[in-house]
Amino acid sequence: MHGSEILERISARRAELDEVEEQLAKQLAEVRAEPDELAVAERVLERVSEQLADERASAAPAPGQVGGRTVMLIPHRAPDVEETMLPPDYQRILAAVRQAAGPGMARQVGEILGVDISVRAKLEPLRAKLVRLVDRGWLRKLPDGRFTTRL
Protein backbone atom coordinates (compact mmCIF):
# COMPACT_ATOMS: atom_id res chain seq x y z
CA MET A 1 0.00 0.00 0.00
CA HIS A 2 1.40 3.34 -1.00
CA GLY A 3 1.25 6.53 0.95
CA SER A 4 -1.17 8.07 -1.54
CA GLU A 5 -3.64 5.16 -1.11
CA ILE A 6 -3.50 5.54 2.64
CA LEU A 7 -4.17 9.27 2.34
CA GLU A 8 -7.15 8.56 0.04
CA ARG A 9 -8.60 6.08 2.55
CA ILE A 10 -8.09 8.54 5.41
CA SER A 11 -9.77 11.27 3.39
CA ALA A 12 -12.69 8.98 2.43
CA ARG A 13 -13.11 7.89 6.05
CA ARG A 14 -13.15 11.53 7.23
CA ALA A 15 -15.88 12.29 4.66
CA GLU A 16 -17.90 9.31 5.96
CA LEU A 17 -17.46 10.43 9.56
CA ASP A 18 -18.49 14.01 8.67
CA GLU A 19 -21.66 12.66 7.02
CA VAL A 20 -22.45 10.43 10.04
CA GLU A 21 -21.82 13.35 12.41
CA GLU A 22 -24.18 15.55 10.38
CA GLN A 23 -26.92 12.89 10.47
CA LEU A 24 -26.47 12.36 14.22
CA ALA A 25 -26.57 16.12 14.89
CA LYS A 26 -29.82 16.35 12.92
CA GLN A 27 -31.32 13.40 14.87
CA LEU A 28 -30.20 14.92 18.17
CA ALA A 29 -31.85 18.24 17.30
CA GLU A 30 -35.10 16.40 16.49
CA VAL A 31 -34.95 14.41 19.73
CA ARG A 32 -34.35 17.60 21.74
CA ALA A 33 -37.24 19.42 20.02
CA GLU A 34 -39.81 16.64 20.50
CA PRO A 35 -40.41 17.09 24.29
CA ASP A 36 -41.26 20.77 23.63
CA GLU A 37 -43.67 19.74 20.88
CA LEU A 38 -45.25 17.16 23.20
CA ALA A 39 -45.65 19.77 25.96
CA VAL A 40 -47.42 22.10 23.52
CA ALA A 41 -49.67 19.25 22.37
CA GLU A 42 -50.50 18.43 26.01
CA ARG A 43 -51.45 22.05 26.75
CA VAL A 44 -53.63 22.22 23.63
CA LEU A 45 -55.35 18.96 24.59
CA GLU A 46 -56.01 20.22 28.14
CA ARG A 47 -57.47 23.49 26.83
CA VAL A 48 -59.69 21.70 24.32
CA SER A 49 -60.84 19.23 27.00
CA GLU A 50 -61.67 22.10 29.38
CA GLN A 51 -63.54 23.97 26.63
CA LEU A 52 -65.53 20.84 25.77
CA ALA A 53 -66.34 20.26 29.44
CA ASP A 54 -67.39 23.91 29.78
CA GLU A 55 -69.57 23.69 26.66
CA ARG A 56 -71.22 20.48 27.82
CA ALA A 57 -71.79 21.93 31.28
CA SER A 58 -73.23 25.18 30.00
CA ALA A 59 -75.53 23.56 27.46
CA ALA A 60 -79.11 24.49 28.15
CA PRO A 61 -80.32 22.27 30.99
CA ALA A 62 -83.33 20.14 30.31
CA PRO A 63 -85.94 21.04 32.89
CA GLY A 64 -87.82 18.18 34.47
CA GLN A 65 -91.44 17.84 35.49
CA VAL A 66 -92.44 17.53 39.13
CA GLY A 67 -96.13 17.49 39.99
CA GLY A 68 -96.96 19.04 36.61
CA ARG A 69 -94.53 21.94 37.23
CA THR A 70 -91.31 22.46 35.31
CA VAL A 71 -88.27 22.44 37.60
CA MET A 72 -84.52 22.43 37.02
CA LEU A 73 -82.31 19.91 38.78
CA ILE A 74 -79.76 22.67 39.41
CA PRO A 75 -81.79 25.86 39.94
CA HIS A 76 -80.43 29.34 39.40
CA ARG A 77 -79.39 31.10 42.57
CA ALA A 78 -82.15 33.46 43.67
CA PRO A 79 -83.34 34.98 46.95
CA ASP A 80 -86.13 32.40 47.23
CA VAL A 81 -83.91 29.41 46.29
CA GLU A 82 -82.14 27.77 49.22
CA GLU A 83 -78.87 25.91 48.85
CA THR A 84 -80.64 22.90 50.36
CA MET A 85 -82.73 22.72 47.16
CA LEU A 86 -79.59 21.59 45.29
CA PRO A 87 -78.90 17.85 44.94
CA PRO A 88 -76.68 16.54 47.78
CA ASP A 89 -73.57 16.12 45.59
CA TYR A 90 -73.80 19.78 44.53
CA GLN A 91 -74.22 20.84 48.16
CA ARG A 92 -71.02 18.89 48.98
CA ILE A 93 -69.20 20.65 46.12
CA LEU A 94 -70.25 24.08 47.43
CA ALA A 95 -69.07 23.09 50.92
CA ALA A 96 -65.72 21.91 49.52
CA VAL A 97 -65.20 25.19 47.63
CA ARG A 98 -65.87 27.06 50.89
CA GLN A 99 -63.49 24.73 52.75
CA ALA A 100 -60.62 25.40 50.27
CA ALA A 101 -58.25 28.09 51.49
CA GLY A 102 -59.21 30.74 48.96
CA PRO A 103 -60.16 30.16 45.32
CA GLY A 104 -59.34 26.65 44.19
CA MET A 105 -58.87 24.63 41.05
CA ALA A 106 -61.11 21.65 40.32
CA ARG A 107 -58.25 19.39 41.49
CA GLN A 108 -58.21 21.02 44.96
CA VAL A 109 -61.99 20.67 45.29
CA GLY A 110 -61.67 17.04 44.17
CA GLU A 111 -59.04 16.37 46.83
CA ILE A 112 -61.32 17.78 49.53
CA LEU A 113 -64.19 15.60 48.25
CA GLY A 114 -61.98 12.50 48.06
CA VAL A 115 -62.18 12.22 44.25
CA ASP A 116 -59.28 10.34 42.62
CA ILE A 117 -57.95 13.41 40.80
CA SER A 118 -55.24 11.40 39.02
CA VAL A 119 -58.00 9.87 36.88
CA ARG A 120 -59.21 12.38 34.28
CA ALA A 121 -62.53 10.51 33.90
CA LYS A 122 -63.30 11.25 37.56
CA LEU A 123 -62.05 14.84 37.57
CA GLU A 124 -63.87 16.05 34.43
CA PRO A 125 -67.41 15.35 35.75
CA LEU A 126 -66.52 17.34 38.89
CA ARG A 127 -65.22 20.19 36.73
CA ALA A 128 -68.50 20.11 34.74
CA LYS A 129 -70.53 20.32 37.97
CA LEU A 130 -68.41 23.26 39.15
CA VAL A 131 -69.04 25.04 35.85
CA ARG A 132 -72.76 24.26 36.10
CA LEU A 133 -72.79 25.89 39.56
CA VAL A 134 -71.03 28.91 38.02
CA ASP A 135 -73.63 29.09 35.24
CA ARG A 136 -76.45 29.02 37.81
CA GLY A 137 -74.87 31.74 39.95
CA TRP A 138 -73.84 29.60 42.94
CA LEU A 139 -70.07 29.94 42.32
CA ARG A 140 -67.71 32.24 40.44
CA LYS A 141 -64.98 31.11 38.05
CA LEU A 142 -61.97 33.41 38.01
CA PRO A 143 -60.09 34.12 34.75
CA ASP A 144 -57.27 31.79 35.85
CA GLY A 145 -59.73 28.86 36.09
CA ARG A 146 -60.08 28.79 39.89
CA PHE A 147 -63.49 28.53 41.52
CA THR A 148 -64.71 30.57 44.47
CA THR A 149 -67.93 31.26 46.31
CA ARG A 150 -70.02 34.28 45.37
CA LEU A 151 -69.78 37.29 47.61
pLDDT on residue 60: 45
- The yes-or-no verdict on residue 64 having pLDDT over 60 is no
Residue 89 makes CB contacts below 8 A (sequence gap 6+) with 129
Backbone torsion region of residue 79, taken as left when φ is above 0, otherwise alpha when ψ lies between -120 and 50, otherwise beta: alpha
**60 or 53: which carries more pLDDT confidence?**
53
Q: What is the pLDDT of residues 84-136, one digit of tens each?
A: 888 888 999 999 998 887 888 999 999 999 988 888 888 899 999 999 999 99
Q: What is the pLDDT of residues 38-53, one digit of tens each?
A: 888 788 888 877 777 7
* DSSP designation for 84: G
Q: What is the pLDDT of residues 68-77, one digit of tens each?
A: 665 567 888 8
Contact 90, 130 (CB under 8 A): no
Q: For residue 132, give the nearest of 23, 36, 53 by alpha carbon.
A: 53
Contact 94, 133 (CB under 8 A): yes
pLDDT on residue 70: 58
pLDDT on residue 75: 84
pLDDT on residue 9: 92
- The yes-or-no verdict on residue 19 having pLDDT over 70 is yes
